[in-house]
Structures are given as structure tokens and as C-alpha cells.
Amino acid sequence: MTAIVLKFGGYQEPASIHNQAAGRFGELLEKKLGSRIRFELIGSILKLGRPSGDLVPMTERGELSFCYMSTVRFSQAAPELQILELPFVVKDRATVFKALDGEFGHGAARKIDANTPCKLLGFWDNGFRHLTNRVRPIRKPEDCRGLRIRTQLSDLHGEVFKALGFEPLPTDVKEFCEQIGSERFHAHDNPLTNIVNFGVHNYHRYITLSSHFWGASAFVCNAEHYRSWPQDVRAVVDAAAKEATAYQRQLAAAEDAEMLKKFDPAKNDLIRLTDAERGAFMKAVQPVLDKYRKQLGDKLFAYLGA
């Protein structure tokens, strides 16, 4: 019997919580299915010279069976996911996971399944995002003015950063990492785990713990591959995906405290905002929130307690 080849693609370093969870997923499959499968984790396609944005198309075409990617990539197929691109709407992990594991997430999953060649297997924790820059401490929106910031490929994120005074440059993380030491980018935003694992803190002295966005990653499978597998294999994949998702979220919850220990005070300044300072950022982006509340509706915001 020919083994089923299962390739899982990522874009991060081996130590990242996403790749740790992907590795756990593969271990669970191998434990249950043995020689019936051959699992391969391609931890970072960046090291193959490909941008992270290639992951979903590679999965859609069947070059990969699985990948993870920010839900930003799926908000056209499932527009309700745009709410996760809005600032300060996610207050805590418990609330957002209740929504993602309930009616809100189930609805988004159905749309991903219906409108893309992918099948959603789980929503992973892509962390609270913070501001980093190499120019000056950022404590108020005025400090953002004139700074060129690398953003995810999200028009909505661009609106938010413009409202704060930044000049947004939507760029794949591969290109950003290659040019991080150049004059092109003054600033960027990411969860602490990525700030460390991508080495951003070696170039950006100032890290503002703004928690302005919280992001989810979609853990997806090529739907045609999934349908082609025997029923018992699909059942093992489903169970392993559920366990890997729980594991990934557990890692993410503990990760922030661990990452904070890795910053050298001689090289990095950690800026913790007061309630008043945070309030100034929230006030600056309120017009963007008001605009999308009208478009998306109060019910979506209510899922997140916003």
C-alpha cells in the first residue's frame, strides 16, 4: 500500500508556537496511522525563497495538504472575519475563543469551506500585536506620525495605521525580514513571539506593548485531498487537528510572559502604556471602528463583547 503523503507548510522558525503545534499534529497522525502516511513539515517556506503569502495558494493547488495563515487571508471568503482586523475589539482570549468555537467561528468556517478550495480544521492563536520601531518611543498617536510601518496585506489594517498617523506599507513578512535593517521600514507590528523569532528586536529598539490587534490563524487543509482520504484517516485528521489546536492555544497563552524575558534592557526599551495613553490610541481609531460597525453589524461585535 502506497503511503499517503501529507505536507504541512508554515512560514516561521522551528521554535514558533505555530510550528510546534504543526509538529504535534504530525506526531499524532504518525502515532495513529503509522506507515499508512508520510508526514512532512516544511516549517518555513521563506527559507525556500517563497513569500508567506504563497502558503494558501500552495494548499489550494494541492502542493501542500495543510498550512496555517492569518485569517486576514480568508476575510474575503468569510467577511465576518474582518472583525479580527479591527483594533481593540478583542479584550481577552477566553471571549474570542468562545466566539471562534461557537456560532461565529462555525459560520466563518462554513464560508471558508464553501468559497475556497480549503477546509478549515481550527482557529489558532496568532497573538496580541504590538508596535516596534527603530526611531523613538511610541506612547501616543502623535509619536506615530511620519513613520513608515510594515503591515500585513490588509486594507483594513492600513486604515487603522493611517488613523494613528503612520504611513502603512503592506508587505509580505519575507520581504520585511529581508529589508528590516534598511531605511524602507521604520516600524512594524507583530506578537511578541514573532518579534523575537524573526529577530525584529535586534533592529527595533522600541517595543510598545499596545495590544492593538489580536489575530487568529486559520489552520486549513486542501479540501480535495481531505475528501480523497479514507473515512478513518479523515477521522484521525479531525481528532489530531482538534488536539493540535488546543495545544497551540495553550502555548500561545504562556508565550507572552516567556518572550518578555528575552529582551535585553540594554538593547530594547519596553513601553507599557498607561490607561490614559491607551485611551488616546483607542480614540484615534474610533472612526474606523464606527465605520465597520455599520458595515458588519452589532451582532458580530457582541460576540466579542465589544
Cα-based angle 158, 163, 165 (whole degrees, multiple of 5): 95
Q: Rounded to whole angstroms, how far apart are CA atoms 221 and 56?
A: 9
Q: What confidence tens digit (pLDDT) does each residue in 100-152 have?
A: 999 999 999 999 999 999 999 999 999 999 999 999 999 999 999 999 999 99
pLDDT surpasses 80 at 31: yes
Q: In this structure, what is the dihedral angle of CA atoms 134, 153, 248, 29, given to the nearest 10 degrees?
A: -130
Strands 206-222, 118-133: parallel, antiparallel or unpaired by DSSP? antiparallel
Task: For 97-246, list the strands marked E by DSSP.
Answer: 118-133, 148-151, 167-170, 187-190, 206-222
Q: Rounded to whole angstroms, how far apart are CA atoms 247 and 271?
A: 30
Cα-based angle 153, 157, 162 (whole degrees, multiple of 5): 120
Nearest CA to 16 out of 110, 91, 127, 114 is that of 127
3-state secondary structure of 282: helix
* % of the chain residues with pLDDT over 70: 100
The CA distances from residue 118 to 56, 109, 163, 216, 226, in Å, are 9, 10, 34, 17, 9
Q: What confidence tens digit (pLDDT) does each residue in 168-205 have?
A: 999 999 999 999 989 999 999 999 999 999 999 999 99
Confidence of residue 306 (pLDDT cuts 50, 70, 90): confident
pTM above 0.85, yes or no: yes
Q: What confidence tens digit (pLDDT) does each residue in 238-286 have?
A: 999 999 999 999 999 899 899 999 999 999 999 999 999 999 999 999 9
Q: What confidence tens digit (pLDDT) does each residue in 245-254 have?
A: 999 999 998 9
4-303: CATH homologous superfamily?
Answer: Bacterial extracellular solute-binding protein, family 7 (3.40.190.170)
Q: Rounded to whole angstroms, how far apart are CA atoms 131 and 278?
A: 13
3-state secondary structure of 6: strand
Residue 276 CB-half CA count within 13 A? 0
Q: Rounded to whole angstroms, how far apart are CA atoms 244 and 241?
A: 5
Nearest CA to 208 out of 269, 147, 261, 166 is that of 269
